[in-house]
Amino acid sequence: MPPVNYSDRDIRDLFDRIAPLYDQLNNDLSLGIHWVWKQMAVSWSGAQPGDCCLDLCCGSGDIAQLLAKRVGKNGQVYGADFAPAQLENAKRRVEKIYLPCAIEWVEADALQLPFADNFFDAATLGYGLRNVVDIPRCLSELRRVLKPGAAVAILDFHRPDNLLTANFQRWYLDNIVVPTARRYDMTTEYEYLMPSVEQFPVGDEQVELGRAAGFGFTRHYSITGGIMGVLVLKK
């Protein structure tokens, strides 16, 4: 869940403010490795050529683009986000590149998705579950819109079990991420990151939340030494 004292509107406004620099900061802060993590999430979603897919909390559209390439010309991708500035950024980005299928951008609340039951063949959610104000409700909505047997892959930060790795993660966020954000005049926005990671359920807890939401298959994969993780849930 978001840090204490952050409302749904606070989170939306935060992501609207960072939208112009979001892609540059992601590349700088991860040294480009975020593309590898996102491709892993797309693979674990099980998306296939011709599928209709959802990228929830799509931000500037990185994962939606990867899904579009995977589903091909006979597929369909929806990128949904509650931050209008992020969606506008996503639209501008895809206008400059070729994709085999169109992406439909939808302003939507992750807790009340504007899609029919059993609509999607696969779904992804990158760095968004940590920011919703009601994780169980978000997972229930994802399950509702997925077809029977379909999966969602949820990529986000994770708190490592190893003490050295955990200390490195905290050091990196405090000494690399926030100072880098300061150079872009985004200090306040990125100071939010560490508290949100500390309050986010760890892998086993995410698995239990998935089961409680009614998913049949629930598994959490730790990646990059436990600094990141992908939760895979299948209806």
Which tens digit of pLDDT belongs to each residue from 174-204? Answer: 777 777 777 766 666 566 677 777 888 999 9
- Domains of the chain, by residue range, sit at 8-234
Q: For 127-147, what is the mean pLDDT? A: 95
Is pLDDT at 87 greater than 80 in this prediction? yes
Cβ pair 53, 75 in contact under 8 A: yes
Q: How many CA atoms, within 13 angstroms, populate the side-chain half-sphere of residue 117?
A: 3
Using DSSP, state whether 50 is helix, strand or coil. Answer: coil
Is pLDDT at 2 greater than 70 in this prediction? no
Beta strands 120-126 and 52-56 are: parallel
Q: What is the pLDDT of residues 11-24, one digit of tens each?
A: 556 555 655 556 56
- State the pLDDT confidence band at 33, using cuts at 50, 70 and 90: confident
Q: Does 100 or 33 have the greater pLDDT score? A: 100
Of 3.40.109.10, 3.40.47.10, 3.40.50.12160, 3.40.50.150, the CATH number of 8-234 is 3.40.50.150
- State the pLDDT confidence band at 1, using cuts at 50, 70 and 90: very low
Using DSSP, state whether 192 is helix, strand or coil. Answer: coil
Cβ pair 204, 220 in contact under 8 A: yes
Name the DSSP letter for residue 19: G
pLDDT of residue 102: 87
Q: For 14-36, what is the mean pLDDT? A: 62
Q: What is the pLDDT of residues 89-124, one digit of tens each?
A: 899 988 888 899 989 999 999 999 999 999 999 999
